[in-house]
Structure 1
């Protein structure tokens, strides 16, 4: 799935990486609060 982003421009790649990073951090924070 992530390999598809490699063929796009570097700016889109950076945007996708930042977006995935944000979602991962949000999930981690949500999981820590629910415990």
Structure 2
């Protein structure tokens, strides 16, 4: 994604994307932790 694309996104859309990434990161961390245990 280019910087121009990001500028065109509305703030709420960007926050939504960020939240989705955060949730995904949490799931990934849980998967990693359960794999290591």
Fold in common (TM above 0.5)? yes
Which runs of structure 1 show a deviation greater than 6 angstroms over 4 or more consecutive aligned residues? none
Partner of 1:21: 22
Structure 1 gap segments, 5+ residues each: none
**TM-score, normalized by length of structure 2?**
0.75
Mark the structure with the bigger radius of gyration.
2
**TM-score, normalized by length of structure 1?**
0.78
Number of residues of Structure 1 aligned to a counterpart in Structure 2:
35
Structure 2 gap segments, 5+ residues each: none
